[in-house]
Chain A
């Protein structure tokens, strides 16, 4: 209870023990912060990394222990109190206090909101049936793995990175996989057409059925579980399991209820401060102005953004603020293909293909007003590494020169102009 003896209070209370929260707590200690720090999260596990959930962990190629960001002892050693299995339901910015689901109050000096997002549910009847899965937490994937033992046909709804990564793992496990995508191409929201068509072809070549321009109108029930997917035209696709990969809703309601500015995420300034006093937000849930998005307000869902913003917030909290300005990067593994992205391609007005997609090693370079804003590099690590300077400097380079694979991008970076 507030002010009463025994009520817990922390100088910094981090809510959400995912990539952002864990790195924020670590960064505070690395910067020499000596106050009390708690890292509170609603999952039962110690902080772990999510990317393998749709890759090696789903495939059974990595044990859960390999996903832990740190050994459990580490947190005690750094004097970070990890409060697992607890959920914040409300925030009182005046009293500097949060309330958790069990009714307890926790005081804070600074609150760092790192709550990520919740997978969007399929907006149709039957989406609550057993056998309908999302891929966000360890518990999600453990449940999926259990049911996979008896599932032969899997329908993946949503052709984004997570859906396609899951589709590749499930296909390699021998499942009959269908990917259902509403748009006219996979990865429509995150990549350019050449990248979409390449991945579509790779999936098809391995036997995945890819259905484009297709909506799901309901999940059909069979023996109390999901038994199929009814499509917009009325056909029913039998399925023993449905995996929904249609994005996340940022987990910010308690902050919005408390009066924080935001909507799709909570708004933060260049130092990750929200509009409420002493409250910061970091990671998937933080809407920020990003130089690499033409100055627009964006949420970036990536490990890079979570970790770099965590460091920015830690600096501001420890009294040494420096604005967020990191070059975005991302990766995705499907089959034997490694995609590496640098920059943010949204809002591009031209694309250049460098190399031959048929050779399964190529890059797609995105331009906005003639300047390089992003690269998607498929099995092309060298372009990824060398292209970073083009993105960082927003350099203007002739498309023909970008496409010329006899010239390393490094040479163009040296010659380009901002």
Chain B
């Protein structure tokens, strides 16, 4: 089993078992975080599933794809380790991944 540690915009942290095959967005949503809106349901069309990946984990996750990169540009909260969580498929290789939900804006 692989786990994932999620921190909300308010700073609450929760570690959950991640299901392989789901996206990180789906896992965060299942874990009950309501500050991640994910309005387009994972279609890479909205940028409301923005997370900051812990810098030490970023190499394992990898950079954003091209469309995602453009969408991330719409956020004032973008950092070098920003990703759209619906574009990160979860799996055993990401065991221990730490992400923080980005503020809107």
Contact = CB atoms under 8 A, between A and B. Distances in A.
Interface of A: 26, 29-30, 49, 51-52, 55, 66-67, 69-71, 73-74, 77-78, 303-304, 307, 329, 331, 333, 338, 340, 381-382, 384-386, 388
Contacts of A26: 34
B44 interface: yes
A382 B66 CA distance: 9
With a 10 A CB-CB cut-off, give which of A29, A55, A77, A384 has the most chain B CB atoms. Answer: A384
Contact of A381 (B26, B34, B67): B67
A188 to B, nearest CB: 23
B29 interface: yes
24 contacts: A26-B34, A51-B43, A66-B22, A67-B41, A69-B29, A70-B32, A74-B34, A307-B37, A331-B40, A331-B43, A333-B43, A338-B43, A338-B44, A340-B45, A381-B44, A381-B71, A382-B70, A382-B73, A384-B70, A385-B47, A385-B70, A385-B71, A385-B73, A388-B74
Interface residues of B, number: 22
B30 interface: yes
B74 A385 contact: yes
Nearest to A339: B45
Given A304-B39, A385-B73, A385-B74, A331 B34 contact: no
B40 A51 contact: yes
Interface in B16-52: 22, 26, 29-30, 32, 34-35, 37, 39-41, 43-47
A327 to B, nearest CB: 11
A303 B66 CA distance: 24
A332 to B, nearest CB: 9
A52 B41 contact: yes
Given A66-B26, A331-B40, A381 B32 contact: no
B34 A303 contact: no
A385 B74 CA distance: 6
A307 B70 contact: no
Contacts of B45: 331, 338, 340
Given A73-B32, A331-B43, 19 more contacts: A49-B41, A52-B41, A66-B26, A67-B41, A71-B32, A77-B32, A303-B39, A304-B39, A331-B40, A331-B46, A333-B43, A338-B43, A338-B67, A340-B45, A382-B70, A382-B73, A385-B74, A386-B73, A388-B74
Contacts of B35: 30
A71 B70 CA distance: 30
B17 to A, nearest CB: 14
The 4 closest A-B pairs by CB, nearest first: A331-B45, A381-B67, A381-B70, A382-B70
Contacts of B74: 385, 388
